[in-house]
Structure 1
């Protein structure tokens, strides 16, 4: 069963592998920030998915560890550069790399991490290496495209729902999808099965991000782990916002646009007003429906998979647990 115990087993194996690859070379100011960001924790969801998928396709967890490491190093590289772009002071409750060192160090250490991620594939046989790096390069460029869309949307008032869904697909979902497909590739799965598990991960990744949008506004502050209402305070045009702009009466739409153009002294009053518009307009229900829609799309890709039924059931259970999360 893919319960917390099974996920903890994958996470423990991955962390042991991470510790066996110490990045303690000279010059220290290049490598220390890499060790620092990789050591800050996090859920390690993507490497866990790589290991889990490899095993579900009949492969060995040990053979998937380097691919899992590549995914985690790349993910953290993107966070280092995103934090610079956002001028973010904190990451997982600790100082961001550019705050702890400086911006130039953050840029250079991030660059080194991207190169190191590619080096993680070098121990694989030629055919596996080729398949992994091809998928990885496609994914990496899509993540960059997603980040650029996100930046562009900050200054646009005409973002459409399809554009927003494409942005979260590229910025978040494709890396989840690639993490799973890499596990399948390492396990020697058939191409059509590897492609199906990619689609499972992609749709689940979109559902995951939409769930994140919802929890950011309506999550429980005790369990969510981030400040509830953060997206509203930062005027982020999430799925909730776009649906409210589509459904709300014109007075509420004007009020919403006004609230998203200011930074009032009483931030929580703004958050409460915006949340009320989200609820009254039907945006909350529409968001929940879309989360369910993408979750079901993910589950439908499992039907044609060439793996035992109990393994399909495990993947479905994993997806259901992910959608029930409160953090």
Structure 2
């Protein structure tokens, strides 16, 4: 039985060996650059783990797993352009290091390369995998558009927000697990449960990110705590606060949301105090637990050898308990 470390090493080696193309260099170098900014590789790792539930030959899932990671980084490259973001994982974004047009075109090629990598799967599974990938990719774009729509709205409901993060971030995590099951030879019921598990976990992870941005330990979180508050980002916490605040709490919240100039630390402390008074932290923690419980329930119902499930369950539990 392989370990997450072995899967990650094999995956990274496979990614490093993929040149994606050679000429013109200006088209392919940005792809190699963003793929070298090693993130957690969470999605492709889950693809390999899901495949290993059903086959000892999990290496046949390496290229499909890499397809998930290439597609994920393609969305990041284009998201950075839309957000005018200067940094990605502490390094200059592609459009900042090269230019916007290059980032758009290189991102387009990444989407095509993701399809090339998926074409390595067995022919009897290929069509169904491409159908699911196309649906997932479309939903990711729908989620991004909803996220942009929400920037100019102050009446976003909890239901709308949860649906947005399901589309923008969670369905790809669900597909990563589903893909591994399909490559490994799982039946339709198992792949459905793997997808549902990934979606629920993905929503839980995003809600936890929302929570950690306000209540995380800066030394562990890895970035500035309170960034969402300073930017008036419509997170689960802010949406719930806007729904529940009355009287002075609502007046104070409206004041900080409308302020054009402010002391950053003062705003973070003031809005956090409003969250505390409204019980937003507890409410968010309960919602996180609800989605993680759904995910573990789905994984528990996946028909697979318990000893093969152990590495995946252990890996997910580590992610659930993370503080960064």
With structure 1 as the length reference, what TM-score do the two structures score? 0.95
Please give the alpha-carbon distance, in whole angstroms, between the structure 1 residues aligned to 2:210 and 2:316: 17
Please give the alpha-carbon distance, in whole angstroms, between the structure 1 residues aligned to 2:111 and 2:210: 28
Shift of residue 141, structure 1, vs aligned partner: 0.5
Q: 2:69 aligns with which of 54, 68, 72?
A: 72
Aligned equivalent of 1:229: 226
Shift of residue 59, structure 1, vs aligned partner: 4.6
Q: 1:321 aligns with which of 311, 314, 318?
A: 318
Q: 1:302 aligns with which of 273, 276, 299?
A: 299
Q: How does 1:40-59 map to 2 (within 5 A)?
A: 40-59=37-56
Please give the alpha-carbon distance, in whole angstroms, between the structure 2 residues aligned to 1:18 and 1:317: 25
Aligned equivalent of 2:185: 188
Aligned equivalent of 1:117: 114
Indicate the SS of the match to 1:326.
Answer: coil
8 Å Cα contact 2:193-2:302 kept in structure 1? yes
Please give the alpha-carbon distance, in whole angstroms, between the structure 2 residues aligned to 1:136 and 1:168: 18
Please give the alpha-carbon distance, in whole angstroms, between the structure 2 residues aligned to 1:250 and 1:205: 35
Q: How does 1:20-99 map to 2 (within 5 A)?
A: 20-99=17-96
Shift of residue 313, structure 1, vs aligned partner: 4.6
Please give the alpha-carbon distance, in whole angstroms, between the structure 2 residues aligned to 1:312 and 1:51: 12
Aligned equivalent of 2:98: 101
Q: 2:10 aligns with which of 9, 13, 25?
A: 13
Cα offsets for 1:131-188 (capped at 9, x unmatched): 2211111110000000011000010010000000000000111010000000000001
Cα offsets for 1:70-106 (capped at 9, x unmatched): 1000000000100000000000000000000111111
Structure 2 unaligned segments of length 5 or more: list them. none
Please give the alpha-carbon distance, in whole angstroms, between the structure 2 residues aligned to 1:250 and 1:115: 53
Aligned equivalent of 1:276: 273
Question: What is the CA RMSD across the aligned residues, in angstroms?
Answer: 1.5
Structure 1 unaligned segments of length 5 or more: list them. none
Cα offsets for 1:112-145 (capped at 9, x unmatched): 1111111111222222211221111111000000
User: Is structure 2 residue 267 aligned with structure 1 residue 289?
Assistant: no
Shift of residue 319, structure 1, vs aligned partner: 2.8
Please give the alpha-carbon distance, in whole angstroms, between the structure 2 residues aligned to 1:301 and 1:123: 28
Please give the alpha-carbon distance, in whole angstroms, between the structure 1 residues aligned to 2:171 and 2:196: 9
With structure 2 as the length reference, what TM-score do the two structures score? 0.96
Shift of residue 314, structure 1, vs aligned partner: 4.2
Indicate the SS of the match to 1:293.
Answer: helix
Report the more deviating stretch, 308-317 or 96-105.
308-317
